[in-house]
Amino acid sequence: MNQLVYLRTFLDAYRSGSLTRAATRLGITQPAASAHIQSLENTFGKALFTRQARGVAPTAAADDLARAIAPHLDALEASFDTLRLRSGSVQGTVHIAGPAEFLSVRLVPMILPLQVHGLKFRLQTGNRNRIRTLLDDGAVDLAITTSKPDNATHGHVEIGRERLLLVAAPEIARQMKGRSLTAAFLRELPCLAYDEHLPLVREFIEAVFNETPLYQAAVTAPDLRLLANGVATGAGWSVLPDYIAADYIATGRMAELPTIRPGPENLLYLVWNKGALRQPRVAYVRDHIVVSASQFASDGQG
C-alpha cells in the first residue's frame, strides 16, 4: 500500500513541478514527500527528479513512469471519488476562479442552490494569466477559461461556447443604415476594450476584417459589464460575448453591427486540478456545473 502512496506523491510532484505543492495537496509535510520520492528512486535505481532553485524537473525515467501509471492512478481515484460521493458528505468550501462576467451571469445561478448541501464558495476573478496562475498554484479547485489547458496537472471539459458580437449604441447602428461596415469606419469611432491589448476586439477584427487593430482604446475596463454599460450609453463600440450583450440587445439598449461574416466563437472550459478531486465536494460541484451547463445549452440559451 505504501508504494501506491509513494506513486501518488510522485505523480503530484511530476504534474506540479514542486515537492512542496505536492505535499500541500496531499496533506503531508515536504520532508515526507521527499522521502516518498527517495524510496521510489531506491526501488527503481534511477533518479526521478533533478532539484532546481524553484521546484523540481523530471528526468527521462520520470517521464516513462508518469506515462505508465497516470491513467491507472487517475482511474482508481475516480472510482473512490464516486464511492465517496455516494456515501459521504459534500460539505465544505470550494474555490472557483474565472472571468468576473461569466461568474456573475452564468456560474453563480448554477452553484448557489448547492448551499443547501452545506457547500460554501470562494470565487476569484481575473484574466487568463491570473486564472492559470491560481490553478497552477493550487489556490483554486475549479476554473472557467476560454483557453484549453495543456498542463498534465489539470483535467478539463468543454461546457459551452461564446460568440463574439460587434456592438454599439442604437444611434451608431442607425448611422450604418445603407452602408457597408468596414474596419476603417470603426477606426473613426471610440473603441471600448478590456485592456490596452484589446482582447476580444483584436480577435474579432482579425477574424472578420483580416487586419490587426493598431489603435488605442478610448476606454478600458477589466470588466465586460462596464464596457456594456458604456456602449449602451453611446460611449463607442466594443466586442462582447453574446451572453453579456443578449439582454442589452433584446431591450433595445444596444445593437449588433452587421458584418460580412459572423464573429468568432470561443470554447468555454471547466478546468480542475486533478488532485482537488480527492475532495468529494469538489467532484460534486464539478459534475453539477457540467450538467447545468449542458442543460443551459440544450435549452437554446448558450
**CATH number reported for the structural domain that contains residue 245 in this entry:** 3.40.190.10
> What digits encode the pLDDT tens for the residues 176-195?
776 778 899 899 999 999 99
Q: Check whether residue 166 and residue 261 sit in a common domain.
A: yes
Q: In the chain, what's the furthest Cα-to-Cα distance?
A: 77
47 vs 61: CA distance, rounded Å: 7
Among the candidates 86, 105, 129, a domain finishes at: 86
Q: Is 253 domain-assigned?
A: yes
Among the candidates 56, 86, 116, a domain finishes at: 86
Q: Is 272 domain-assigned?
A: no
Q: Check whether residue 242 and residue 282 sit in a common domain.
A: no
Average pLDDT, the chain: 88
What letter does residue 267 receive in the DSSP assignment? E
Q: Is 271 domain-assigned?
A: no
Q: E-strand spans in 108-251?
A: 119-125, 142-145, 154-168, 192-193, 219-220, 237-241
Q: Check whether residue 178 and residue 230 sit in a common domain.
A: yes
Backbone angles phi, psi at 47, to 5 degrees: -75, 135
Q: Is 273 domain-assigned?
A: no
Q: Looking at the 3D structure of the chain, how many domains does it have? A: 3
Work out the average pLDDT over 125-154: 88
Q: Check whether residue 151 and residue 289 sit in a common domain.
A: yes
Predicted confidence (pLDDT) at residue 196 exceeds the cutoff of 90: yes
Q: Check whether residue 218 and residue 248 sit in a common domain.
A: yes
Note down the domain range covering 172. 162-265
> What digits encode the pLDDT tens for the residues 233-267?
999 999 999 999 999 999 999 999 988 889 999 99
Q: Is the Cα torsion angle 275, 279, 285, 291 positive or negative in sign? A: positive
> What digits encode the pLDDT tens for the residues 81-132?
555 555 556 789 999 999 999 999 999 999 999 998 889 999 999 988 999 9
190 vs 218: CA distance, rounded Å: 5
Three-class secondary structure of residue 143 per DSSP: strand
CATH number at residue 22: 1.10.10.10
105 vs 245: CA distance, rounded Å: 11
Three-class secondary structure of residue 234 per DSSP: coil
pLDDT at 130: 93
The residue to which cell 534511477 is assigned: 46
Q: Is 122 domain-assigned?
A: yes
